Amino acid sequence: MTLIIKLRNMPQDISPIIKPDELIKLNHNIALILIDASNGNGAKENYNVEHLDGALYVDLNTQLANINADVSIGGRHPLPTLEQFSETLMSLGITPTSHVVVYDDKNGSNAAARFWWMLNSAGHQKVQVLDGGFQAAIKAGFPTNSKIEIPLKKEPYKIENWLLPLADIYEIDKVAQDTDFLVVDVRDEERYNGEKEPIDLVAGHIPGAINIPFTTNLDSNGFFLSPEELKNNYLKEFEDKAAKNVIVHCGSGVTACHTLLAIAYAGLEIPKLYVGSWSEWSRNNRPTATSKKK
């Protein structure tokens, strides 16, 4: 049974995670808006070949980010403007009363969790991420097709501000090595250690940041750990630090949202997101650190 929670800084009162069998029941009972947020090489082509029945596609690079030619300004995936995101929601037929379920092909670490965070931060009441993603839904028997999906209706979606907490590079400058704060890097251990860097120009991590790979949010089958397990894990890592003193980042502000989603699923207050993340930090002559392999 999915835990239903209400968080102090999250507007919805439904679980941020929905199981495949719950989605199948929900799909039979109410009209919902299903979003495929898979991204990367061939993602749109894969969507065109097969997607969950009724799912609309959202593109990370063009709809969930406002990419600059100069990556040092905001990193690889800066947030879009409020106006741009409003246009995206309208194009998908999402209204303030819509029940949105979003999935990708990497259990939220692709862009589903990023879309979840953005919708929540826009004040949307009903948005959930599909546990196990595309593959789990198919295994559970959710139908798929390759047809062109058309939004049911398009209405303006007014967004006044991002409601969830954000941090910028200047705040990181001040608090990264302050013991009253905690900066969390969710990239894999090899990237954090500086042993490899397949995407950005410099290997390593922000001095003072700790490493909690987003993959630790999942069990051996690729599903989220239970809310109780996640809560215990993060309370242990955060010790007695308030959410406002915890900042989460990754490479470009996308997979960090997977950890924020896990924290929300645990029933804990959502920490700050540093959207620019390592891609911005490492391009701005900031100090970097590496760690020896254990």
- Catalytic amino acids? 250
* 53 Cβ contact list (under 8 Å, min separation 6): 34, 142, 143, 144, 145
Query: Contact at 8 Å (CB) between 74 and 276?
Result: yes
For 87, the token pair is: 């246009």
Q: Report how far residue 242's alpha carbon sits from residue 219's, in angstroms, rounded to the nearest whole number.
A: 27
Query: Contact at 8 Å (CB) between 242 and 175?
Result: no
Q: Report how far residue 168's alpha carbon sits from residue 248's, in angstroms, rounded to the nearest whole number.
A: 11
For 242, the token pair is: 């308030």
The H or E element spanning position 40 is: none
DSSP state of 4: P
- DSSP class per residue in 263-276: HHHTTPPP-EEESS
Q: Report how far residue 207's alpha carbon sits from residue 181's, in angstroms, rounded to the nearest whole number.
A: 13
3-state class of 103 per DSSP? strand
Query: Contact at 8 Å (CB) between 18 and 126?
Result: no
Query: Contact at 8 Å (CB) between 254 and 114?
Result: yes
Q: Classify burial at 188, counting beta carbons within 10 Å of its beta carbon; exposed 0-12, middle 13-18, buried 19 or more.
A: middle
Query: Contact at 8 Å (CB) between 44 and 58?
Result: no
